[in-house]
Structure 1
Amino acid sequence: MSSESNDNLILHIGTGAFHRAHQAFYLHQLNQLQSQQQPSEKKWSLVAGNIRNDVEHIMDALRSQNGEYTLETITPHGEHEYTKIQSIKKICKWSPNLEELISVGANVACKIISFTVTEGGYYLDEHDKLVIDNPDIEADIGGGMKTIYGTIVAILEQRQKLNGEAITLQSCDNLRNNGARFCAGLMAFLVLKGNESLKAWIKANTTTPCSMVDRITPRPTADVAERVLKATGFADKCPVMGEAFIQWVIEDHFVNGRPQWQKVGVELVEEVAAYEEAKIRILNASHSCVAWAGTLIGLTYIHEDTANPDIKKFAYQYITDDVIPALSPSPINLEKYRDVVLDRFLNANLKDTNKRVNLDSYSKIAGFIVPTIADSFARGGMPQATALLTALFFRFLEKWIEGIEEFAFFDSTMDEQIVKGFFKSDNPIKAYCSDKLLWGKLSGKKELEQVVREGVEIVDQWLAAQKN
């Protein structure tokens, strides 16, 4: 497209519903504002691509609509708004060698490579060390492109060869300290590949700013397209939906320019940690809490879970008893943020499913929940409210092993045989609490086993009461 040669480009890897409802939305808003206020100023455009071909049908639909699609946003009161997003100007055609993706990333016009690859897509252990015995990582060390590391290395090798222009590598995932942790994984990956030249070039010519992203974005159902057609007259093949609430906080560390996101509400800061920590522990962990609990009693949607007084109490006490003390003092009003988050979960119009939130659950224990347990132990406390969340997941895993469809989920970091081994053990809770991938430095500690065992007893009593 002609716009690809005229605009500054952002290549985004991992073009799912969240990206299209969040980062692409912000850039669309900015471009619309710029067209009104500074029409002669050079714009920024997105190029969308994926490492895997599992959503190529959606990419084909986007391609057929020249990258345009409709975003439906819904308030908790049921107010719908429709925006045609026009910030994606090119859709990379997937191929095993990711030819188009690499070509765009190596283009001198590309100033930023951003990505959403989920928590498990970073393949890091509790020490932020690359999990080198994972089959995907092993394949990429041998020259494959199954992971973000193998893909970024292929792009930057070509970029180094063609023009050597500096570029920002921007993580947009729900991962604490995401930019720095990605960078650590990338450096370790390059050491394993033995590519010292590229490693030195990356250190000199890239930055990896951390960010915090927030908007609940359910997988769109068929009725979204029906509502879009009725409201706009556009027969959209690939609409997305999201809540009205949106937030993006980014460390302002860009090496080769960036869009003026601050003009449309993005918060550009020097340090993102406080915002990131509050969001991960309060929103993300609570989201998993209500999803696990709701699934265990046969519910389907997040708003149904949160409307259950017991489940809402589980999440409320977790935040109030354990998270707020761990994060205080904070520049954020944590009590107010807690209440806003739980209200957002009650948005029945979103129809956000437990199944969606349950994805990557194994990674979420380590990333979202274990830090609060560790903080409580360090203060001499017993994190009973947080341990209840881990107990809910323990019973969730047990149902997953039984092959019940409602409990099916995917997590690239989970070793299925190890998990199945928990429940073949003479002491399943002890085995569960000894898994280093889940618990890190806490694995095998008696106080962890004790508090999780107490949590399982409470969960079992609650589940029994639900049957009566």
Structure 2
Amino acid sequence: MGGGTTGARPGLWAGQEGLQIVRLNAGTVHSLPADVIRPSYAVAEQKCGIVHLGIGAFHRAHQAEYTDLAMSQGDRDWRICGVSLRSAGVRNQLEPQDGLYTVTQKSAGAAKTSLVGSIAQVLVAPENPEAVVAALASADTHIVTLTVTEKGYCQGAGGALDETNEAVATELAGGDPASIYGYLAQAMERRKAAGLGALTLLSCDNLAQNGKQLERLLLAFLERSNPELAAWCAANCTFPSSMVDRIVPATTGKDLDLLAERLGVRDEGAVFTEAFSQWVIEDVFAGARPKWENAGAQLVQDVHPYETAKLRMLNGAHSAMAYLGLERGLVFVHEAMQHDAIRQLVGRLMRVEAASSLSPAPGQDLAGYADRLKERFDNPALEHRLVQIAMDGSQKIPQRWLETLAFHQQDGGDCPALLEALASWIVHVRGGSANVNDPMAGRLAQLWSEEGMAGIVPALVGRGGMFASSYIADEPTISHLQRLVAARSD
């Protein structure tokens, strides 16, 4: 089924043999098949209680679905005002659909589709920064959630706030907001002036201790720009850490076409994911919150064991498969898992190198977790692209790989799987025929040019290297990595 508009009537789509398919919206929901799970609450009657920064496919398949399920269990007034910090893509998908979209779980069996009603609107920050600040400053807003990816936190060397970042520098100079810090700072100034407090800022990004990182970086920004506001923020806001886990591949045109044929309506905002979903949240909220636990979330006192296991085992394995698979010409995660050498390396990485670096919580079964990860990686229905995982590697490998390497350096353990993966990443960022999608791509290519084969490894992980704050390799490890890099560069 094609995806082009017919040109005759807005909202209609041309299908096979001239079939006309209407766009999903509040007026067409009644026509959905009976097996589509629907919200049990009056969607349009719910107020927004959450602002989400960085709305994308993952948020729609994870936090937004948990919120939808919580309202279906009886919670009210927790719809989400989504904010896109860059492009209008998600707004253009959801606005004609009254914020409605579907989540489809892909598995070897029949697909399961749910209609989600928790997103009330999507703001595009560059188009209307005032609307974003107003939403954040609203008395109805109790929680701000974030999925802005690792690079959205604007960290520089050693994890400090990068004040040379173009957006951050502009904001510190008094310019318009462009990063999460500028928007939050302006909103907090209004909340302070209005006597509003009790705001929870909940990071859902793949950073170790993401709540503490957000708190540290935001307070650093505020102390630099407005010390009085920094004190207000510290007194009135909480920053729970959380661990989020669900594999959400990029949606393809083929996905949308097949879904339209099955549903009888066209959903441009549809997301596709696996059945597995986990959300572990530190229970330190400043005020009201949704009853996410009724939707399956875990509220705990300490998220650290869960987030560290996810970062080092799941995310570490994903990044390894990405670079090891791409260098072999593979496309999808399940293809990488079918490659004997990669499968063996991934198994060792998860079960031996990563798992042994962890201190699990009581009852946390790391061997069972590795078994479940293997099953999830093997799922061919997901079609999770390696190139998607390979993006922004410079922002990911410190917490996914280097912390594990540093741990085993202290106990004398060997990490051959992680070193193979690291060598693949080093060759990947050299550029050339590879399309390197990374905020540090230019700097990494320049480092390769300056240091060459003989010096690139110590320039990255040697004493004084780019990643020295996370891991400093000893001389035998540097020599071994240089041999692995050279073998891949022949």
TM-score norm. by structure 2 comes to 0.85
Q: Distance in 1 between matches of 2:84 and 2:466?
A: 27
Mapping 1:227-238, distance limit 5 Å = 227-238=258-269
In structure 1, stretches of 5+ residues that fail to align are 35-40
Which residue number corresponds to residue 33 of structure 1?
73
The one-letter code sitting in structure 2 at the alignment partner of 1:123 is: C
Secondary structure, counterpart of 2:73 in structure 1: helix
The one-letter code sitting in structure 2 at the alignment partner of 1:102 is: V
Which residue number corresponds to residue 94 of structure 2?
62
The one-letter code sitting in structure 1 at the alignment partner of 2:215 is: C
* Contact map agreement 2:458 2:465 (CA 8 A) in 1: no
The one-letter code sitting in structure 2 at the alignment partner of 1:417 is: R
Asked if residue 42 in structure 1 is aligned to residue 68 in structure 2, the reply is no
Asked if residue 456 in structure 1 is aligned to residue 485 in structure 2, the reply is yes
Q: What is the CA-CA distance between 1:438 and the residue it aligns to?
A: 2.8
Secondary structure, counterpart of 1:287 in structure 2: helix
Q: What is the CA-CA distance between 1:71 and the residue it aligns to?
A: 1.0
Q: What is the CA-CA distance between 1:397 and the residue it aligns to?
A: 1.5
* Contact map agreement 1:363 1:438 (CA 8 A) in 2: no
Q: Distance in 2 between matches of 1:51 and 1:28?
A: 23
Q: Distance in 1 between matches of 2:71 and 2:436?
A: 37
Q: What is the CA-CA distance between 1:97 and the residue it aligns to?
A: 5.2
Which residue number corresponds to residue 446 of structure 1?
475
Q: What is the CA-CA distance between 1:207 and the residue it aligns to?
A: 0.2
Q: Distance in 2 between matches of 1:118 and 1:440?
A: 20
Q: Distance in 2 between matches of 1:171 and 1:82?
A: 27
The one-letter code sitting in structure 2 at the alignment partner of 1:118 is: T
Q: Alpha-carbon deviations, 1:61-86, whole Å to 9, x = none?
A: 201111101111112x2431111111
Asked if residue 410 in structure 1 is aligned to residue 437 in structure 2, the reply is yes
The count of aligned residue pairs is: 444
The one-letter code sitting in structure 2 at the alignment partner of 1:165 is: G
Which residue number corresponds to residue 57 of structure 2?
17
Distance 1:397 1:46, change over 3 A: same
The one-letter code sitting in structure 1 at the alignment partner of 2:70 is: L
Question: Which range moved further: 324-333 or 229-238?
Answer: 324-333
Mapping 1:94-173, distance limit 5 Å = 94-96=125-127, 98-125=129-156, 127-142=158-173, 143-173=175-205
Question: Which range moved further: 204-213 or 222-231?
Answer: 222-231
The one-letter code sitting in structure 1 at the alignment partner of 2:64 is: A
Secondary structure, counterpart of 1:271 in structure 2: coil
Secondary structure, counterpart of 2:467 in structure 1: helix
Secondary structure, counterpart of 2:345 in structure 1: helix
Q: Alpha-carbon deviations, 1:180-199, whole Å to 9, x = none?
A: 00110111111222x01110
Q: Distance in 2 between matches of 1:441 and 1:361?
A: 14
Mapping 1:48-447, distance limit 5 Å = 48-52=82-86, 54=87, 56-75=88-107, 77-96=108-127, 98-125=129-156, 127-142=158-173, 143-193=175-225, 195-328=226-359, 330-331=361-362, 332-398=364-430, 401-402=431-432, 404=433, 407-412=434-439, 414=440, 416-426=442-452, 427=454, 428-434=456-462, 436-443=465-472, 445-447=474-476
Question: Which range moved further: 350-359 or 423-432?
Answer: 423-432
Q: Distance in 1 between matches of 2:426 and 2:409?
A: 20
Q: Distance in 1 between matches of 2:476 and 2:219?
A: 35
* Contact map agreement 1:206 1:255 (CA 8 A) in 2: yes
Secondary structure, counterpart of 1:438 in structure 2: coil
Aligned-pair identity (%)? 30
Q: Distance in 1 between matches of 2:95 and 2:57?
A: 15
Q: What is the CA-CA distance between 1:137 and the residue it aligns to?
A: 2.2
Compute the RMSD of aligned alpha carbons: 2.2
Q: Distance in 1 between matches of 2:373 and 2:240?
A: 25
Secondary structure, counterpart of 2:105 in structure 1: strand
The one-letter code sitting in structure 2 at the alignment partner of 1:221 is: T
* Contact map agreement 1:13 1:113 (CA 8 A) in 2: yes
* Contact map agreement 2:240 2:282 (CA 8 A) in 1: yes
Distance 1:161 1:58, change over 3 A: same
Secondary structure, counterpart of 2:142 in structure 1: strand
